[in-house]
Amino acid sequence: MLQTPGQVRRQWKDLAVFGAPPAFASPLHVGRPNIGDRARFLDRINGILDRAWLTNDGPCVKELERRIAALAGVKHCMAVCNATIGLEIAIRALDLSGEVIVPSFTFVATANALHWQTIRPVFADIDPNTHNLDPQAVERAITPRTTGIVGVHVWGRPCAVDALAGLARRRGVKLLFDAAHAFGCSSAGRMVGRFGDAEVFSFHATKVLNSFEGGAIVTNDDEVAHRVRMMRNFGFAGYDSAVHVGVNGKMTEVCAAMGLTSLESFDGFVAWNRTNYDLYRRELDGLPGVSFVEYDAAERNTYHYVVLLIDEAQTQISRDRLIDVLHAENILARRYFYPGCHRMEPYRTLFPNAASVLPATERLARQVLSLPTGTAIGGDEIRTVSSILRLAIENGPQVSATLDGSASVSVANGA
């Protein structure tokens, strides 16, 4: 359901951050779930209840796995309860240990999936143009203890998959991709899902395709797939026979039913996102100091993230002050992925000098501003959000100075 269009502001002094009522009566979130056809979903739920088969490789899970594998063009798909557990299982299935190279510019789940298993995440810097791992920085971080690389396709824009694959092969380490953002995206015409030794999708509520909570491990490697299947189910290879240490990473039938229903509307979600993205670009066009994360029109993208980069030297108002302005209007823009994993616990304490090799990560984390999008947001909301941003930036020095002198401003604390 769309939000109310929101109040239009005429002058910068009318902004809610200075005391006016918020432009939106209810919050505009970055991560509102896309909801597909309710009747189809409820039909599926009835089927699940009639069959009394609620989890453990039920028919909805199997159908979802088949369809994800076909869409990603990959041999094996194993659905899991969420991408974090999916990463942990894939890391085990690939026998990673010792040190593994990861970006710090990612959701903290990527690093946690390693550290949780007593593997040391070694943070490597990103390419400032792609926001993904810089293969040269990865190469510099490799030591005799390195067993793998985990690349993250941030915003759904694929990593330098071929360079990383070449590097992994040359240095004899495994390559895993955190593809939490990248279901439905492609690199040089190849769908994400088939790269490295395995990839992991997220179908969390906030992702373009959601199954409430959920994810999938995909791979073309028969042995890896076999190990993942066992590890996802306590290590069982059959009744009474656990042949490996394992965990419970299974997806439930209800989640798979939501995933299947979301898949049926997936093209519509992507088209909606594209329209939103294009409108934001038009509305914010020409604003000094504001640039967009761009998507390659020759590739498949989901346009699920509308991310601005704020160059404070030009806007003369900081990214964090803009967040204050937006939050006061009930526009809950986010700073994904501020401040970078290396500045979050336990990594900040474990690796106090990590920032010295992460200049691009540090710079980007100060600039990113993610705007609300998805099917909960339409043209009216986007025009209002954009006009507020435009007002704040076109009057950047005044807004900033007035906020600096005001005790009532709440500094945004979240990511």
Q: What residues contact 203, with CB distance under 8 A and at least 6 apart?
A: 83, 183, 209, 210, 211, 213, 214, 215, 216, 255, 259, 262
Smaller CB separation from ligand T4K, 20 or 415 = 415
Residue 247 binds to ligand T4K (criterion: CB under 6 A): no
Residue 342 phi/psi, 5° resolution? Answer: -65, -15
Residues 272-301 that bind ligand T4K (CB under 6 A): none
- Residue selected from 12, 269, 305, 336 as contacting ligand T4K according to rule CB under 6 A: 336
- The stretch among 90-98, 201-209, 235-243, 265-273 that binds ligand T4K (CB under 6 A) is 201-209
- Chain centre distance of CA 404: 32
> Closest separation between CB of residue 396 and ligand T4K, Å?
27
Give me the torsion for CA of 393, 395, 397, 400, rounded to 10°.
-70
DSSP symbol at 262: H
> How many of the chain's residues bind ligand T4K (CB under 6 A)?
23
Smaller CB separation from ligand T4K, 159 or 403 = 159
How far is 60 from 48, CA to CA, in rounded Å?
8
Residue 180 binds to ligand T4K (criterion: CB under 6 A): yes
How far is 261 from 265, CA to CA, in rounded Å?
7
Helix (H, G, I), strand (E, B) or coil at 320: helix
Residue 84 binds to ligand T4K (criterion: CB under 6 A): yes
- Residue selected from 3, 34, 82, 330 as contacting ligand T4K according to rule CB under 6 A: 82
Residue 199 binds to ligand T4K (criterion: CB under 6 A): no
User: Mask: binding to ligand T4K, 6-45, rule CB under 6 A, as x and -?
Assistant: -----------------------xxxxx------------
Smaller CB separation from ligand T4K, 33 or 184 = 33
How far is 390 from 12, CA to CA, in rounded Å?
10
Residue with tokens 């439905």: 184
- Residue selected from 7, 55, 136, 206 as contacting ligand T4K according to rule CB under 6 A: 206
Residue 371 phi/psi, 5° resolution? Answer: -100, 155
> Closest separation between CB of residue 337 and ligand T4K, Å?
8
Give the number of C-alpha atoms closer than 13 A to the C-alpha of residue 361, restricted to the C-beta side.
27
The H-assigned helical ranges of 239-334 are 253-264, 266-283, 312-315, 319-328
The token duo for 362 is 């540090």
Residue 384 binds to ligand T4K (criterion: CB under 6 A): no
- Residue selected from 24, 41, 107, 269 as contacting ligand T4K according to rule CB under 6 A: 107
The residue nearest ligand T4K at its CB is 31
Kindly list the residues in this chain that would bind ligand T4K in the complex (CB under 6 A): 29-33, 82-84, 106-107, 109-110, 152, 178, 180-181, 202, 204-206, 215, 336, 415
